[in-house]
Amino acid sequence: MVQLHVKRGEESQFLFSTTVDVSLETLIEEVTAIHNGRLKVDRICSEVPELAEHGITLPTNMQGLTDDQIVDLKLHDEWEDTCIPSGGAEFKKDEIGRRNGHAPNEKMKDLLMKTLEEAKALISKKQVQANVCVTMGMVKEALDLLRGAVMIVYPMGLPPHDPIRMELEEKEDLAGTQASLQVMSPEEAQLWWAAKEMQRGKKLKDYVGKNEKTKIVVKLQKKGQGAPAREPLITEEQQKQMMLHYHRRQEELKKLDDADDDTHLQSQWSDRQALKKQFQGLTNIKWGPR
C-alpha cells in the first residue's frame, strides 16, 4: 500500500493508506473527507468542556444577556426543563452568558471528558509519529464515541440550537467563522507532490510509479492558493541530529586539544632526574637572599 503523509502548509495532519491504481478524483475525495471529519471532531471536542462545565447552550436570543435583561425582556429557555443531565444538575454560572449553567454532576462530567480524550486520540496528529494511518472509519468512531457520551449524559437530547447537536446532525452553520476557512469541498481541494499539482483524470501511479511500498508527502490545499512551499531537504529531526553530532564532535576535539597540553612536563613528577637529585640533596633548593 502507498502511504501518503498529508500536510497543510508545513504542518503534518495525518497518514493515509491507498494504492497506486486509485484515481486522483477518488483519492482527493477520500483525503478531503478525512480532513473535514477531523475538523468536525475538533469542533465538537472544543464544545464538550463547556457543556460539561456549564450545561446546554441558551437560545440565540438569550445569549450574552444578564439575568436582569432576561427578566425585563420576559425571555424563557423552554429547553431548560427538558434537557436535564443524568443524575441531576449542579449550577455553575456561565460568566459569558452562553450556556444555562445547569451542569452535569462530577460523574457525568468525567464521562464526557474521558470520551473527549479518546475521540481526540483517534484522529490526533500524533498518529503520524506513531505511523498509524487514519481512516474514515476512525473518524466515524470518534464521532460515535462523542454522540454516545452525550446521549448518556443527556438522554432527552440536546436542544436543536446546541452546536454539538448541530454538528452531529450535519446541520452546523460555519458561515462567517474561522472554521469555515479550514473546511474544503472535494471540488475545490488539490493535492500537490514534489511541487506539482496531481491532476484529476490521472491515477496515482502516473506520478509515483507502480511500487506499492512508496511513501510520499503530499500537500492538501484549496484551488487558487498557488503552489505550496517545497519540503525542506532535511527534516527538523534530522537537523537536530546533525546539530547534536556537530556538538559532540566539537567536544571531542576540545578534549583532544587538552590532551596535547605539555605544561605537565614542568611538573616535579615528570622529572626523570628527581630520584638522583633527592639522593644528592639537591631538592627543595631556594635561591635568593634570606
Query: 113 with 252, same domain?
Result: no
Query: 215 with 241, same domain?
Result: no
Query: 240 with 217, same domain?
Result: no
Query: 118 with 206, same domain?
Result: yes
Cell triple for 199 = 491532476
Domain range enclosing 153: 2-55+104-222
Cell triple for 278 = 633527592
Query: How far is the C-alpha of 263 from the C-alpha of 242, rounded, in Å?
Result: 35
Exposure string over 246-269, b if 16+ CB within 10 A, otherwise e: eeeeeeeeeeeeeeeeeeeeeeee
Query: 158 with 252, same domain?
Result: no
Indicate the pTM of the whole model: 0.78
Query: 262 with 153, same domain?
Result: no
Stated as kind and residue range, the H or E segment containing 72 is helix 67-72
- pLDDT on residue 263: 58
DSSP letter (8 states) at residue 85: P
Query: 140 with 163, same domain?
Result: yes
In a domain, 92, yes or no: no
List, as one string, the DSSP characters of 206-254: HHH-S-TT-EEEEEEEETTS-PPPPPPSS-HHHHHHHHHHHHHHHHHHH
Query: 252 with 181, same domain?
Result: no
Q: How many domains does the chain have?
A: 2
- pLDDT on residue 269: 59
pLDDT by residue, tens only, the chain of 290 residues: 899 999 998 899 999 999 999 999 999 999 999 999 999 999 999 999 999 999 999 999 999 888 889 889 999 888 988 999 999 999 999 999 999 999 999 999 999 999 999 999 999 999 999 999 999 999 999 999 999 999 999 999 999 999 999 999 999 989 888 889 899 999 999 999 988 999 999 999 999 999 999 999 999 999 887 777 766 656 677 778 888 888 888 888 887 777 665 555 566 655 667 667 766 666 666 665 65
Query: 29 with 148, same domain?
Result: yes
Calculate the CA dihedral of residues 266, 269, 271, 276 and round it to 10 degrees.
150
Burial class (CB in 10 A: 0-12, 13-18, 19+), 104: buried
Listed as own residue / partner, the contacts of 272-278 with beta carbons closer than 8 Å and 24 or more positions apart are none
- pLDDT on residue 244: 86
